[in-house]
């Protein structure tokens, strides 16, 4: 079979950008992205896409309504497709067995049942969502137990390695594409067909093929390795703050070792995003189920250290602000979990805001890409507070960083947006309460310069700096 039509179930952070790039690079293939949320599909078909991702809008504009379609007609898209990506969300389970750790596969299962129900011809079903090891086997059992007579399915694992904020570049210049499939003849043929799609732009030597389980585990392993590097460097940042060593100097010296490398060695207030925590918790749960408690507790430490880092940073804010932030105005600059995305899922800013609100602070929040409604939703969610009205009264959301910082006691940088580096800190200082504090949770600012202006500066992995000014 030559793939002529692709359907992608799930028009989220993965399904949207991935299929846009496939459409861009494969003009001979018609790609339809479907979602059960009509609002999301409407946004994909508008000038304001539901997600912010540098370069994405341009790609969508080039392909939309030519060979790229966004639709709620799931039935039609599945019926016509030769190959179907499942790109639905796989959040951590909130209830029942494995609550708080295992991946909730209800959306994946829902998608599989839908495919079995609708499909009237053979399909290659590709698991793109991040799933526990052996999930493909479960999907296949569901598909084969419910299929229409004569319809055959092949299931592949093709985990996505894109990183939000750089998704388009990651997709176009992928380090590798991983495809796992059954060792049977049919499985190998399906692998070849999906490889052919990627070979439109990815060099063949970068397309790795494995068995299904290796592919599923590799995705969890990659995220566990990446997150553990962040926890490694963050753990040492605490040692630096206690000793006078500087974590940037340590990271530079360590990263120069070619066996270690310099990437992902940036100390910060901790990692966020929808994947790292969820995928490691999932790995921990799998290890527990496999009766490998030592392995489970090893990876659990990566999460625990991340929690410790967020707590440590927030405690320091309260401590330096004379042990109370009650009724003090604090500016939170950045709410997204990282720069160049509007995604706030598991953003450390949410934790920082919660702790400061619990301590009685008033928050002025500014983020260049996160919508005010999203910030309000995050901070008034029942899992966040029993008193949403109280939270609403304690926060103000701004669309200008200068207004957000005016009249505040402290500026807290929670996201490493480039625009924060170029702000006029003399002006910000002149409009703040004194003494004025900056807490740089991302290590992006010039701390000596800020101290010269008169700020007290606290950052991660370095002792607090300030210069005596005005006799202070």
Member of 35, 104, 367, 378 binding ligand NAI (CB under 6 A): 35
Residue 101 assigned to a binding site? no
Binding to ligand NAI by CB under 6 A, coded x per residue (else -) over 135-174, reads -------------------------x-x-x----------
Sole window of 11-19, 63-71, 230-238, 397-405 interacting with ligand NAI (rule: CB under 6 A): 11-19
287 Cα distance to chain centroid: 23
Choose, from 8, 275, 287, 414, the residue flagged as catalytic: 275
Nearest residue to ligand NAI on Cβ basis: 12
Binding to ligand NAI by CB under 6 A, coded x per residue (else -) over 273-292, reads -xx-----------------
According to the binding rule CB under 6 A, does residue 10 interact with ligand NAI? Answer: yes
Least distance from C-beta 456 to ligand NAI, angstroms?
36
Burial of 290 (0-12, 13-18, 19+ CB in 10 A): exposed
Cα–Cα distances in Å, from 330 out to 30, 380, 415, 438?
A: 50, 18, 15, 10
The DSSP bridge pattern shows strands 329-333 and 410-413 to be: parallel
Residue 136 assigned to a binding site? no
User: For residue 193, which of 89, 122, 117 has the smallest C-alpha distance?
Assistant: 122
Enter the DSSP assignment of 91.
P
Tell me which H or E stretch contains 128: none
Least distance from C-beta 164 to ligand NAI, angstroms?
4
Our answer to whether residue 275 is catalytic in this structure is yes
Whole-angstrom Cα distance, residue 50 to residue 33? Answer: 13
Least distance from C-beta 81 to ligand NAI, angstroms?
14
Q: Who contacts 389 (Cβ-Cβ below 8 Å, separation ≥6)?
A: none
Cα–Cα distances in Å, from 252 out to 247, 263, 265, 270, 459?
A: 8, 10, 8, 19, 17
According to the binding rule CB under 6 A, does residue 133 interact with ligand NAI? Answer: no
| Residue 137 three-state SS | helix
Nearer to ligand NAI, 105 or 410 (CB): 105
Binding to ligand NAI by CB under 6 A, coded x per residue (else -) over 225-264, reads ----------------------------------------
User: For residue 157, which of 220, 78, 216, 223 has the smallest C-alpha distance?
Assistant: 216
76 Cα distance to chain centroid: 31
Member of 20, 92, 129, 154 binding ligand NAI (CB under 6 A): 129
Residue list, annotated binding site for NAD(+)? 10-15, 35, 40, 88-92, 129-130, 164, 275-278, 345
The residues annotated with a catalytic role in the active site are 275
Residues that bind ligand NAI (CB under 6 A): 9-15, 34-37, 40, 74, 87-90, 107, 110-111, 114, 129-130, 160, 162, 164, 274-275
């Amino acid at each position: 079979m030559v793939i002529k039509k692709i359907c992608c179930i799930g028009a989220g952070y993965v399904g949207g950008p991935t299929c846009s790039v496939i459409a861009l690079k494969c003009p001979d293939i018609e790609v339809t992205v479907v979602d059960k949320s009509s609002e999301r599909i409407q946004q994909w078909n508008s000038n304001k896409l539901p997600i912010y991702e540098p370069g994405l809008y341009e790609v969508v504009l080039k392909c939309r309504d030519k060979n790229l379609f966004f639709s709620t007609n799931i039935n039609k898209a599945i019926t016509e497709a030769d190959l179907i990506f499942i790109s639905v969300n796989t959040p951590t389970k909130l209830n029942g067995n494995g609550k708080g750790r295992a991946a909730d596969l209800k959306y994946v299962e829902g998608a599989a049942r839908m495919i079995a129900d609708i499909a009237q011809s053979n399909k290659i079903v590709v698991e793109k969502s991040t799933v526990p090891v052996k999930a493909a086997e479960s999907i296949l059992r569901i598909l084969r137990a419910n299929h229409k007579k004569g319809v055959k399915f092949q299931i592949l694992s093709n985990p996505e390695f894109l990183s939000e904020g750089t998704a388009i570049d990651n997709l176009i210049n992928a380090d590798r594409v991983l495809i796992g499939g059954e060792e049977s003849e049919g499985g190998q043929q399906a692998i070849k067909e999906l490889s052919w799609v990627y070979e439109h732009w990815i060099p063949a030597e970068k397309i790795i093929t494995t068995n299904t389980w290796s592919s599923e585990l590799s995705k969890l392993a990659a995220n566990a390795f990446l997150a553990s590097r962040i926890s490694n460097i963050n753990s040492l940042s605490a040692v630096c703050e206690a000793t006078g060593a500087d974590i940037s100097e340590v990271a530079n010296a360590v990263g120069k070792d070619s066996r270690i490398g310099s990437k992902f060695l940036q100390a910060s207030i901790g990692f966020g995003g929808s994947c790292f925590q969820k995928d490691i918790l999932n790995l921990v749960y799998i290890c527990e189920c496999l009766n490998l408690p030592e392995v489970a507790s090893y990876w659990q430490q990566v999460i625990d250290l991340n929690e410790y880092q967020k707590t440590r940073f927030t405690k320091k804010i309260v401590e330096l602000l004379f042990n109370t932030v009650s009724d003090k105005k604090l500016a939170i600059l950045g709410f997204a979990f990282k720069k160049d995305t509007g995604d706030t899922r598991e953003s450390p800013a949410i934790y920082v805001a919660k702790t400061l609100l619990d301590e009685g602070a008033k928050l002025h929040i500014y983020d260049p890409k996160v919508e005010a409604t999203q910030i309000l939703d995050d901070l008034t969610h029942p899992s966040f507070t029993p008193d949403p009205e109280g939270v609403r009264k304690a926060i103000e959301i701004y669309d200008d960083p200068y207004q957000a910082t005016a009249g505040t006691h402290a500026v807290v940088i929670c996201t490493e947006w480039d625009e924060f580096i170029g702000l006029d800190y003399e002006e910000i200082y002149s409009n703040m309460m004194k003494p004025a504090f900056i807490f740089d949770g991302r290590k992006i600012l010039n701390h000596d310069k800020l101290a010269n202006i008169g700020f007290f500066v606290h950052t991660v992995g370095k002792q607090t700096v300030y210069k005596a000014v005005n006799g202070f």
